[in-house]
Structure 1
């Protein structure tokens, strides 16, 4: 019998192991370390706290057919699966089904098996290969049963497809099923991340009564990297049809539902019903496009005391989506998920891909409806005056007097153009504040706010020739509207005591903090640094390594989001532990009144004489020692002993 024909399940065969042990052979070179019962119980308890098990059962009941003949009970439950995945994430192991199988087979004590309701595997060396195959199949099926409840894009993924097959998969895709399963996936992610948030102590959770967010997308690769573009899919199908011998066709993509992530260059944001036509440019570098998905993550930030580290920067909401598709809507989903933490909505910060680029009906209106105020940078073409109403000017989120000096109106453009420095810019922004219209009545339920001229009211901030007769306060010097800056036609804001403005007309520019001020800059910088830091920590090279698919080989959109959710859960738990550890260090320093910590001297150095080095403990005087004689009593050299 050749080595390739050896059957370890045949009891008559006794392999020669040489210097290898049976445990090493069964572990294929690894020695499986037992996971302590306390850690298993901790992870299992967190799974139950999250509430995902009840939701999985509800979804299973929802999908169940009216009549079923039943079957054998599952060997591995969802509770055991999610617990095992959390254990893998905690120790930094790859999310392979083989690693999960090894946990169930070799790394749990009898008590932990009983906790997870797992049967004991056959531990005999003879026949272990068949036993491992059985447990691997059961582990894989258990994961897929869970995945099938939430996968928005079910398809066969065992082999590469022809472009004609890809086209047929897209044609028969169930949009309604996609939407319902996508909601389930996002709820799974939400429940797991909310659980981690609640693992913090109440003082940390409530360090701020508001939940401020900073969100962004980051790339998640697919296990198979060959992609396609819907822009040229029809052409490729036509080219395939001309091939006579179909067996000669090269294998095509596996995942029909993924897309091209644009690493550099312009990005699109396809709305519902639109098709993403992004395709790699052959003239450009191949590194500019990668085939996969996007993970949308919101991190908790602090708008009240930015950068003070009052709480850990946790991923408080996450969803997954196709690249270049419904970017704005995914941001709204993040805000809705974050509201379930039980805190008041605060400020939502993002880069130019979001508030600065999206249509108000896709992002801004929903964000305001959810209670969040925007914070963002502006596109260069939206700096300076952007129209207005009733004679007033809309400038970078604020509503200003039509007589505002042009040097103040275009201050930001001049900064970007290099005409003024930052110090001059800040002074102009500060001066421009005086020309902003005053709020007389806050916005009502329909979004209408009553504003008045800054030269009117009990606390006017400017003087104006058109309002001289109404001036009642002369207690201090104020900036004035020059005659040359007065509008040719005095509209309502210049002729009435107050005017009602529709906030929806300026919602695209509105911000939580006045743009360009030190307050805006501090928060926006803190928020962007927080999300970029989180992305860097969880991407390639880190403990979670969500970007690379080399540590998660299960194919498909649903499987990827489930695994990434588990990794984000572990990331949050690590961040909480590190935050508490840092606080303990700070408290220890405070209690020592800021004095430097004295390094402890080892006991052997404190108390013992070292004959090898002939040294004594610090502070111990060296005793005088008599010099050895140079000769013996006979006058000869000393004896050797």
Structure 2
């Protein structure tokens, strides 16, 4: 067998293990338009193999104490698959774009694959169905619940803070944060483990870690809690590029959160073609509130099965002090 024939066979093997189809089928599916069966299959496999749907249903039943009631048009599994599908397509989690997919591009076969009830409706109907199902899911994992459809006035914000400061609310917040971290880790780790085995075997565990801004909409929330919130997410932080990135109230501050990521790194120069630089762990925090998140990131990475390897960060990441990672 020639080298070119061997390489072609290896490519076909990797296409089957990653997308469940041949390279030719993949090219044909990409030509279909915004709903490629390759990406849809990939998203389904990630969600189904992650185990998160079973947990979400378990948490939902524990919350309701009953299985009674009208079943949602779009179940949890379908919501997650739709989110992952549109991320792979490069659209992000945009509800209007997903509603367009459901309204225009999905047919009976796709609806059946995801267990979606194909009721009659137009774009706005699908948008509302998605919104209701996604909010039903978020209620189980949101660590900081509260209205996000308006800018809270001072009295309403003070009332929300008082409510969230009760022992019951504090316990719920901690529980939901653990759930959210677990869910994100399961989905991410499942996708990383889908890397073909021969490529995965070449990776030894080194990571580079850093944080990046996830911008929010609207103006940053004021540093003074007695003022009206700047945007609809009353808990979002203020970001500045300098220092620890925690905004101090300058006009140049931006609203949002920081996304913490660790990325696969090769052992020495010249090995960058051995494997892709995939993200192995994620975390989220308000800008400037970084202490402890580095340790959580490394903990999550190690749950992939790596107990050794380098952790590479820039000097600003942890203030040149390993203690700010707060390893346990």
> Is the pair's TM-score, using the shorter chain for normalization, greater than 0.5?
yes
In 2, distance between residues paired with 1:255 and 1:296?
A: 20
Q: Does the C-alpha gap of structure 1 residues 70 and 354 become closer, same or farther in structure 2, counting only changes over 3 Å?
A: same
Separation in structure 2 between the aligned mates of residue 305 and residue 87 of structure 1, nearest angstrom: 34
TM-superposition CA deviations, 1:582-601 (whole Å, max 9, x none):
xxxxxxxxxxxxxxxxxxxx
Deviation at 1:69, TM superposition (A): 7.7
Deviations 1:407-450 (A, max 9, x none): xxxxxxxxxxxxxxxxxxxxxxxxxxxxxxxxxxxxxxxxxxxx
1:54 aligns with 2:54: yes
Residue in 2 that maps onto 1:280: 249
| Aligned residue number for residue 188 of structure 1 | 183
Deviations 1:194-229 (A, max 9, x none): 122111122221214x31121111101112324111
Match of 2:8 in 1: none
- Matched residue of 2:291: which SS? helix
Normalised TM-score (structure 1): 0.43
Partner of 1:312: 276
Contact 1:298 1:318 in 2 (8 A): yes
> How many angstroms apart in 1 are the aligned matches of 2:39 and 2:141?
28
Q: Which has the higher helix share?
A: 2
Cα distance in 2 for partners of 1:293, 1:42 equals: 28
8 Å contact kept, 2:34–2:89: no
Partner residue of 2:314 out of 345, 351, 356 = 351
1:363 maps onto 2:325 in alignment: yes
Separation (CA, whole Å) in 1 of partners of 2:53 and 2:101: 20
Deviations 1:101-126 (A, max 9, x none): 2222221232222111223343xxxx
**Match for residue 72 of structure 1?**
70
In the TM superposition, 1:508-523 aligns within 5 A as none
The reply to whether residue 330 of structure 1 matches residue 328 of structure 2 is no
Structure 2 residue aligned with 1:224: 218
Distance 2:260 2:48 in 1: 25
Mapping 1:125-164, distance limit 5 Å = 131-164=122-155
Alignment of 1:2-21 (within 5 A): none
* SS of 1:318 mapped into structure 2: strand
Report the 3-state secondary structure (helix = DSSP H, G, I; strand = E; otherwise coil) of the residue aligned with 2:206.
Answer: strand
1:267 corresponds to 2:262: no
> Given the superposition, is the C-alpha separation of residues 37 and 211 from structure 1 closer, same or farther in structure 2, using an over 3 Å criterion?
closer
1:215 counterpart = 2:209? yes
Q: Do the aligned residues in 1 keep the contact of 2:239 with 2:287 (CA within 8 Å)?
A: yes
**Partner of residue 170, structure 2:** 175
Contact 1:152–1:177 (CA under 8 A) maintained in structure 2:
yes
1:317-340 Cα shifts (integer Å, max 9, x gaps): 001111111x13111111111112
1:166 to 1:197, Cα distance in 2 relative to 1, 3 A = same
- Given that 1:228 and 1:253 are in contact with CA atoms closer than 8 Å, whether structure 2 keeps it comes out as no
- Asked whether the equivalents of residues 219 and 255 of structure 2 are also in contact (C-alpha less than 8 Å), the reply is yes
TM (norm. structure 2) is 0.80
Alignment gaps of 5+ in structure 2: 1-31
Cα gap change, 1:205/1:344 in structure 2, threshold over 3 Å: closer, same or farther?
farther
Question: What residue is the counterpart of 2:113 in the other structure?
Answer: 115
The answer on whether the counterparts of 1:76 and 1:142 sit within 8 Å (CA) in structure 2 is yes
8 A contact 2:213–2:259 mirrored in 1: yes
Distance 1:322 1:98, change over 3 A: same
Q: Compared with structure 1, are the counterparts of its residues 36 and 307 closer, same or farther at alpha carbon in structure 2 (3 Å cutoff)? A: closer
**Counterpart residue number, 2:192:** 197
How many residues are aligned here? 292
Contact 2:281 2:297 in 1 (8 A): yes
Cα pair 2:210 2:313 within 8 Å, conserved: yes
Give SS of 1:328's match: coil
| Alignment partner, residue 26 of structure 2 | none
CA contact (8 A) 1:149 1:181 kept: yes
| Paired residues of 1:41 and 1:115 also in contact (CA < 8 A) | no
Q: Which residue is 2:44 aligned to?
A: 44
Q: Say whether the 8 Å CA contact 1:160–1:252 is kept in structure 2.
A: yes
Tell me by how many angstroms 1:135 deviates: 2.3
Contact 2:50 2:186 in 1 (8 A): yes
Structure 1 residues 322 and 252, CA gap change in structure 2 (3 angstroms) = closer
SS of the residue 1:260 aligns to: strand
Q: 1:203 to 1:74 in 2, by over 3 A?
A: same
1:251 CA drift (Å): 7.4
Report what 1:489 is aligned to: none
Following TM superposition, by how much is the alpha carbon of 1:279 offset from its aligned partner in structure 2, in angstroms?
2.4
CA distance in 2, matches of 1:186, 1:338: 13
Q: Aligned equivalents of 2:40 and 2:238: distance in 1?
A: 39
Deviation readout 1:590-623 (Å, 9 max, x if unpaired): xxxxxxxxxxxxxxxxxxxxxxxxxxxxxxxxxx
CA contact (8 A) 2:217 2:255 kept: no
Aligned residues of 1:170 and 1:256 also touching (Cα < 8 A): no
Equivalent positions of 1:71-110 (< 5 A) are: 71-110=69-108
Question: Is the 2:148–2:234 Cα contact (8 Å) retained in structure 1?
Answer: no
CA distance in 2, matches of 1:137, 1:70: 22
